[in-house]
Amino acid sequence: MAAASSAVTEKRKKNPLSDGQGTLAALLISPTMAVILFVVGIPILMSLRESVFRKDTAIDPNTGLIPEGETFVGLGNFTAIFTNPQLVPGVWGTQDRLVNAFWNTTFFTVVCVIAETILGVAMALIMAKAFKGKGLVRAAILVPWAIPTIVSARMWGLIFDGEGVMNRIVGQQILWLADGPQSQWAIIISDVWKTAPFIGLLTLAGLQTIPGEVYEAAKVDGANAWQQFTRITLPMVKPALVVAVLFRTLDTMRMFDLPMGMIGQGKYSVETISMFAYIENNALRYGAAAAYSLLLFLYIVFIAFLFVKFLGADVVGDDELKAIAEQRKRQKAAAKAAGTTPALAKSTVTSGSSSS
Amino acid sequence: MSTATTTEQAHVSAAELAKLNKPTRDGKYWAGLIGTIAGMSFIVIYCILPFYWMIVSALRQPTDGRSTDFLPNPPSLANFGAVFDPRNQFGIALVNSLVVSLTTTLLTLVFGILAAYALARLRFWAKGLVLSIIIACSMFPGITLLIPLFKLFTGNYPSFPLNWMNTYQALIIPTLSFGLPLCVWNLTAFFRQLPVELEHAAMVDGCTPGQAFVKVILPLAAPGVFTTAIITFIAVWNDYMIALQFGTSPEMYTAIVAVSKFTGQYGFDTPWGTIMAAGVLITVPLLVGVLIFQRRIVAGLTAGGVK
């Protein structure tokens, strides 16, 4: 801290190892950032631009043709959800198609993520106990992960077919792939099958970092198995688990492949926001499609923000950045006590914490 | 006298030790063991059973359709032959998938290694920003990018009059949007795990940071780079949305899109046998690769996902 402020007043001696890293870093980072700018940054801006325009569909009274142009409509594409709703019958009642897609997306996300987390943690606990056959279980667990979602969708499509094996097992004639609540459950079952093992894998990695002594100490203190699980295991795997769950949540929110490959388009009970935006886009209604996709984007940002804010998901996970944040906090507190404006730290170069 | 006592003491304590070392096999122990075995069998069956159903359905005769027998009777490879029926153009689709996946993987590796090294090792003011941008990209809904790119590649912008639909570049460039963040993220995690002292030692010996990277870190990181390549390759290979949007003519389908659009050779019904056979053909090479390198891939997934 002292060195950081003195660097401004005195000329610091040049350090050949740490100085000039900024230039090298800029050189190394810039190709990646350029690619990201072109394939992500610019398309987002273009998407923003599209979302406030609408393709002309009215016939020009002078020529009798549909003009090939677009009109600026401001937030018209967004407000059309309320002013000009496209009512569809879904599981949640008859409502606007986007609102229906929104509830489907939310429902899938909540149910899938909760089921995957519980199953995944249970799998991780079992695997952590295993002493023999660990390799076999790990190999098995990678199978659902490696199967492409579309192949999995078609595979479950066959299983859930009206004359398929699922109906033979449950002994009923359920039309899983029709349009209705049962098709939502077909989607949920196949999504949980594919991704619960993945959460299990990530949780297992977190479990294995807990030292055995902690459990021994708890046993000596008389903790039972349930207390050990809630007081030791859960808090200690929480950082790993929260990040895994965050990634799964965001992944489920943009679900597209599974309903598309298994049930197909135009089935309102399983239509997600991604699917609806895709369908609008292919109908060449770029404005509406861009608006819906941006709403999905904002929804995802909001959920990610909640995870970081309230569950403390440390997604970046860089030690140096953590050190800088802590140092800034200390500096702010010190400046507040002294009544001056804080000089915020920009790096840990002078505080000596090396990245590891 | 004294020797006798010590032997006796040693003897007694050894017996006690042996008794103590022997695990107590009471009811609780057996219950735990049986529970663990049952749990593990559950996991294995849970993961394998649907996949088993796909293989079994692929091995039936094409006329068996949606048969629910648990074994193919009689087994037949006709479905696999039907996959390569010229009308399906599945061979072309496989080639397309390979071209797209390999090109994307190579491109992301070249860019990713450079960026990941800087993110893992160097100190610069924008690091937090760059890391946040990269992680934000991997959380991004792909559909938001797809819409303007679709309008762009169909030549609907006056400033870009080319029609790039059904070209390899239209399949590869959008794929970079999720392939590159994934690759950079995994590689950064791998580079962080390598001890920084190795580079310091190299620099003490007179290497510049760049030389230390090329001569010391890169060879050591080769397994990590390789794992990242596999993970990126699988992610790109499995992509559906981009391939579906930009490859609309059957000659430009990737294998994944081809499987989703199969009409097949037999009957008017959905040719389930052919679809399952194609699914097996797409999945098995991935599975073989994943199982061979499973240790590394698990390490890579956990390093990239949890840090």
Residue A350 predicted with pLDDT over 80: no
- Those residues whose C-beta lies under 8 Å from the C-beta of residue B107, and which sit 6 or more positions away, are B172, B176, B179, B180
**Three-class HEC string of A252-316:** HHCCCHHHHHHCCCCCHHHCCHHHHHHHHHHCCCHHHHHHHHHHHHHHHHHHHHHHHHHCCCCCC
Q: Look at A356 and B192 and tell me if their CB atoms are within 8 Å.
A: yes
pLDDT of residue A55: 76
A356 at interface of B, judged by CB pairs closer than 8 A:
yes
The reply to whether A159 touches chain B by the CB within 8 Å rule is yes
User: Which one of A143, A161, A324, A348 would you mutate to disrupt binding with B, by most B Cβ within 10 Å of its Cβ?
Assistant: A143
The candidate with the shortest Cα–Cα distance to A147, out of B15, B291, B146, is B291
Choice between A243 and A348, residue whose per-residue pLDDT is larger: A243
CA separation for the pair B269, B246 (Å, rounded): 28
The torsion angle over the Cα atoms of residues A198, A152, B240 and A187, rounded to 10 degrees, is -80
Q: Which CATH architecture has domain A87-310?
A: Orthogonal Bundle (1.10)
Q: For residue A352, what pLDDT band results from cuts at 50, 70 and 90?
A: very low
Is the pLDDT score of B31 beyond 50? yes
Confirm or reject contact between B22 and chain A (CB < 8 A): no
Residue in B closest to A206 by C-alpha: B306
Q: Which residues in chain A are contacts of B48 at CB distance < 8 A?
A: 140, 143
pLDDT on residue A15: 57
Q: What is the pTM of this model?
A: 0.85
The SS3 assignment for B106 reads helix
Pick among 1.10.3720.10, 3.40.640.10, 2.70.98.60, 2.40.30.20: CATH of B89-261: 1.10.3720.10
**Residue A354 confidence (pLDDT) above 50:** no
Q: Give domain limits for chain B.
A: 2-79, 89-261
In contact, A254 and A300? CB cutoff 8 Å: yes
Tell me the residue type at B91: G
Residue A2: per-residue pLDDT: 44
Domain locations along chain A: 53-83, 87-310
| pLDDT score, position A349 | 47
* B positions 256-285 inside 8 Å of A (CB): 256-257, 259-260, 272, 275-276, 279, 282-283
Query: CB distance from A172 to chain B under 8 Å?
Result: no
B93 versus A69: the higher-pLDDT residue is B93
B1 to chain A, minimum CA–CA distance in Å?
40
- Using CA atoms, how far apart are residues B123 and A20, in angstroms rounded to an integer? 9
Tokens 């080319």 correspond to what residue? B162
Decide if A170 touches B, using CB distance below 8 A.
no
State which residue of chain A sits closest to B199, comparing Cα positions.
A17
Residues of chain A in contact with residue B142, where contact means CB-CB under 8 angstroms, are 254, 256, 274
Which of the given ranges, A150-164, B5-19, B250-264, has the highest pLDDT on average? Answer: A150-164
Query: Roughly what angle, to the nearest 10 degrees, separates helices A97-129 and A286-310?
Result: 40
Neighbour-count burial of A314, counting CB atoms closer than 10 A to its CB (0-12 exposed, 13-18 middle, 19+ buried): middle
Query: Is the model more confident about A14 or about B262?
Result: B262
If one compares A120 and B126, the residue with the highest pLDDT of the two is: A120
